Chains A and B, each alone.
Chain A
């Protein structure tokens, strides 16, 4: 066994250059983390790196083991204090970073350096936990190249050939590995994660609608540029006023905050009627269960169900980008025969809140016995009574926010109007509830899909009429029709803050942004969204629709074999003899020189017989011609291999010149 397992020669000690390469690689890979992490962690790592460079500069010995252990233990304690755990995703990354920095500090031999490089590989992919965009991917590709370069630079034992050489070699290796990488990416059997319970903080920082709404809570969403989902339509894209993307439905009101019922009731029926429209939704992870669809959804996506208030809920929270086919009927109706108990819930109001609103509703009820007339009256009041649409309304912090809004401030945005309207309806005895979701979206002409951002978040009201069931009423439309027709950017006064990209005054910028988003869309669809489902789809497209695992294994093996073969051909092409070619090239040059003077060699003619013929034609150069030809024959056929002999031949041929006779 000792013979078979490679003998390890005593590990060589790294020089200053190798330490510098390792440090630079580590810094670049961890840079995105360092910019993001708490200051004390970033500073600690920078200090450790600085210490390493200082050590390398002054050629100091490795720090004492006990010192490193103390640093490691106190850093771990700090992490424990900061994150309350050592095993969470974030805490794990931080620990890996600190341990890598400590390892760098005591790195001495080539073997240490290689170990550091391997840990660096692992650190590379932790960056993808936070971002998988194209720029991140390119940056990490660059880091992988640098990492390979560093690993290669550790292997030179002789004279250092300059940084260009390992950079080029690493690039060659990565390029030649591309076919195999592609095969593995497409065909390697994918398993749906997660494999084990993810730590609590795994999905921290995902934004989206929540299951409650209080004055000002949508505000932060509306200022966010983040993409909520994209929808690609089969056929014509509906009018903007029909683009109500239904999300959480809020029933319970405590005087300030609207919340969704804790336990949703499942409905087996879906709305029907009217023309339908087909499209595909790709929703960004938001760590909640809602799936978005245009009102009203006509089908259920796989692994999800519909509730009696027509929310689509996924069985598990949406934690990775999810794609589903959807059909909606824009004019559908539902809920006409809802149970009276359900309707009763849609009338509940807390006591001792918003007394003026309740009183106003009673007055309206007396004046308008018909539900529809009452609704029309309220909407016309919103339209004509100096109500304003603004994203920075006065704060409503008291116990009677609806009173305050309706009778004092009169300015707010969708959630204020939806909330006030619903309270009014309930107080007047009309079943009503708040629906949140998104309105509109931006049509991307480059990719022919609709892009819906968090900034498009919206809230509206559903009221129940005996003849049509649950009917959508959007009070915001009464105040600011442009919000509905043309999007949020046109609905606001110019002084209101809005995410940079939502305002579209710079047409050139706008077009670039749309093109970029189209690239991102395809990146998400085809690269990031390459899930087990997608893989199955891809396999069925290339003719393996109901393939057994055995035929898939054969396919994978064959493709891997082909990819490795391509790699082998690329790598081993340089094993062709340089020498024979150089000899041949030199001789060809000699023949060309002779041919210019009218002595050309017959392809079947041996070099020595040709030399005799040429010597007779040019007797003045006979000696040279014979000598060169003999040297050539010796190198070419005699098996002589000395580089010196080749150089001599090349020199002779260079010097050889023949005069016109």
Chain B
């Protein structure tokens, strides 16, 4: 009850309204400002200076106390100015494995004439990335988010704050950027050996792709292993061709859900499958992925690897979440 009330109140005050698309401009009503603990201490010092000035009848003491106090108040405007009217937009983000930190890039653009210094970007209030943004310039900040679970990861609400120039005030603003990062399941730590090439095809025909016998050339598709590019042919004419090999059916490597021991639960299975995908990729083997609800044909290369890992990351989540 109390938590709900508090959340509702904070929502109203800070206008939290969920992720926003496009560029977020830190307009005036999005920038909040409060004195820091040091600011309160400074106020106490000013009051003490005033009391001393009254007691010892120090006219210059009054002047100095008022000057410093007024400077403190003026510094509030400077702190506000240091954050206001910045334009925040999402930058690139690389997929990571669960357990790693996702590095969200946040592009901060300054279109005004005021140089900005010491702007912190933080998500958890504990660690922050500090950036300076020159007038009419832009700087990229990075927010690290620990990826605990596979699937889509959002940075949630990011806080931009600054205490520049005097540290007496802290201005801050919230940016909930519409950006997400795909988190792959963590690869299993103690990997099982790659499964034996599939022998279930039976007839021993020549229709699958393998590595044993050269079967012909086809146009290069992105994702094909560079080792299979027909470099001589490429030198002759300007198109890249991939050599195709016809292997026997038992040379087909299928990374299949069912190939894992019965006792494994879903996450364990996914984790081992990820391990296999990585191992196969490292070994340069073409492989296919077969998990419930999704089958990826045998292929190799970075694009295939990404496709496999993505499928594993999103297994069981709403598949329509793809964008």
Contact = CB atoms under 8 A, between A and B. Distances in A.
Given A6-B36, A158-B118, A177-B70, A128 B58 contact: yes
A642 B110 CA distance: 10
Contacts of B56: 89, 128-129, 193-194, 198, 202
Given A158-B130, A571-B78, A181 B67 contact: yes
Interface stretch (A71-79, A487-495, A525-533): A525-533
Interface stretch (B158-166, B190-198, B241-249, B250-258): B158-166
Contacts of A564: 73
A592 to B, nearest CB: 22
A209 B55 CA distance: 25
Given A155-B117, A155-B164, A198 B70 contact: no
A641 B109 contact: yes
A173 B71 contact: yes
Contacts of B137: 643
B136 A646 contact: yes
Interface string A549-578: 000000000000001100110011011111
Given A180-B74, A528-B60, A576-B112, A4 B34 contact: yes
A581 B46 CA distance: 41
Given A6-B36, A181-B70, A572-B77, A582 B49 contact: no
Interface stretch (B37-45, B181-189, B282-290, B295-303): B37-45
A114 B167 contact: yes
Nearest to A4: B34
Contact of A577 (B64, B66, B112): B112
Contact of B67 (A118, A177, A571, A643): A177
B59 interface: yes
Contact of B55 (A194, A528, A646): A194
Interface string A112-143: 00110011011011001100100011001100
Given A3-B10, A140-B60, A529-B59, A578 B112 contact: yes
B70 A121 contact: no
A122 B48 CA distance: 8
A7 interface: yes
A10 B118 CA distance: 15
A121 B74 contact: no
B211 interface: no
A152 B63 contact: no
A205 to B, nearest CB: 14
A148 B161 CA distance: 21
Contacts of B75: 173
A561 to B, nearest CB: 12
Interface in A570-622: 571-572, 574-582
Interface stretch (B91-99, B121-129, B224-232): B121-129
Given A9-B122, A121-B68, A137-B60, A641 B38 contact: no
B307 to A, nearest CB: 32
A114 B167 CA distance: 8
Contact of B53 (A125, A148, A156, A641): A125
Interface stretch (A183-191, A354-362, A433-441): A183-191
A568 B52 CA distance: 30
B49 A320 contact: no
Given A122-B48, A155-B117, A578-B136, A180 B73 contact: yes
B182 to A, nearest CB: 27
Interface stretch (B79-87, B215-223, B311-319): B79-87
A157 B130 contact: yes
A575 B81 CA distance: 7
A25 to B, nearest CB: 14
Contacts of A567: 70, 73-74, 77
Contact of B165 (A152, A180, A198): A152
B61 A125 contact: yes
A158 B60 contact: no
A198 B38 CA distance: 30
B24 interface: no
Interface in A90-111: 110-111
B233 interface: no
The 5 closest A-B pairs by CB, nearest first: A177-B70, A180-B70, A157-B130, A574-B114, A571-B77
Interface of B: 10, 23, 34, 36-38, 41-42, 45-46, 48-49, 51-71, 73-75, 77-78, 80-81, 84-85, 87, 109, 111-114, 117-118, 120, 122, 125-128, 130-132, 135-138, 161, 163-167, 170, 172
28 contacts: A8-B37, A9-B126, A10-B126, A124-B64, A144-B64, A144-B67, A144-B68, A148-B71, A155-B164, A166-B165, A177-B67, A178-B70, A181-B67, A193-B55, A193-B57, A196-B55, A202-B56, A320-B57, A531-B57, A564-B73, A571-B74, A574-B114, A575-B84, A577-B112, A578-B113, A641-B109, A642-B138, A643-B109
